[in-house]
C-alpha cells in the first residue's frame, strides 16, 4: 500500500503545479502527467485485488476505489474541477459545528433569515470579500437604493464596483 500513497502524493504535487494555471492549461497538464499515474494506480489496485481478503479493511478499500474509479478520475476531464472536495468540506465545517447552536432559531422565519444570512456570508467568503464590511455597507444603503437595482448590492457586484 506504500506504493499507492506514493502515487497519490505525486498526483497532489501535479495539482500544486496546476493551481495557478487556467482551466485549459490545468486540463492539459493533468492529461500529460496525472493520467499515467492514475493508470498506474488502477493497475496496482487490479494486481492486489486478488491478494487482499475481500472483507478486510484493505479489501474494502480496493473494492471501493475500483467501484468509484470513474468518479475519482473525473477531475482529469475538466480543468475547473478539483482533485478532492476539501474546499467544500472546509466551507461546511462552520455549519456542522453550529448545527446544535441553531437547533432553536425561534421560528421558521428565523431559520429562513439565518439561511439567507449564511448564504450571503458564504458568497462573500467565496469571492474574498470581508462579510462584515459588506453587510455594514449594504445595510446602511439598502433603504435608499433603487429597488430595480438591488442586484448591484449582491456581493460579487459590490466587490466589482469597489475594484
- pLDDT per residue as tens digits for the range 109-150: 777 888 888 889 988 998 999 999 999 999 999 999 999 999
* CA 14 – CA 79 distance, rounded (Å): 13
Close Cβ partners of 62 (under 8 Å, ≥ 6 residues apart): 45, 48, 49, 52
Which residues have a Cβ under 8 Å from the Cβ of 79 and sit 6 or more positions away? 21, 22, 23, 24, 25, 26, 27, 28, 30
Per-residue pLDDT reduced to its tens digit, 60-71: 999 999 999 999
Question: pTM value?
Answer: 0.64
Q: CA 108 to CA 95: how far, in whole Å?
A: 18
Amino acid at each position: 500500500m506504500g506504493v499507492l500513497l506514493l502515487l497519490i502524493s505525486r498526483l497532489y504535487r501535479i495539482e500544486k503545479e496546476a493551481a495557478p494555471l487556467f482551466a485549459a492549461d490545468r486540463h492539459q497538464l493533468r492529461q500529460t502527467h496525472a493520467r499515467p499515474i492514475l493508470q498506474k494506480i488502477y493497475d496496482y489496485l487490479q494486481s492486489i485485488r486478488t491478494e487482499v481478503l475481500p472483507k478486510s479493511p484493505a479489501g474494502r478499500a480496493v473494492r471501493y476505489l475500483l467501484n468509484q474509479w470513474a468518479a475519482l478520475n473525473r477531475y482529469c476531464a475538466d480543468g475547473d474541477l478539483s482533485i478532492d472536495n476539501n474546499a467544500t468540506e472546509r466551507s461546511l465545517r462552520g455549519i456542522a459545528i453550529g448545527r446544535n447552536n441553531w437547533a432553536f432559531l425561534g421560528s421558521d422565519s428565523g431559520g429562513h433569515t439565518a439561511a439567507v444570512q449564511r448564504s450571503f456570508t458564504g458568497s462573500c467568503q467565496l469571492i474574498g470579500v470581508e462579510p462584515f464590511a459588506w453587510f455594514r455597507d449594504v445595510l446602511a444603503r439598502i433603504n435608499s437604493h433603487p429597488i430595480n437595482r438591488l442586484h448591484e448590492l449582491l456581493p460579487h457586484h459590490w466587490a466589482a464596483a469597489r475594484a
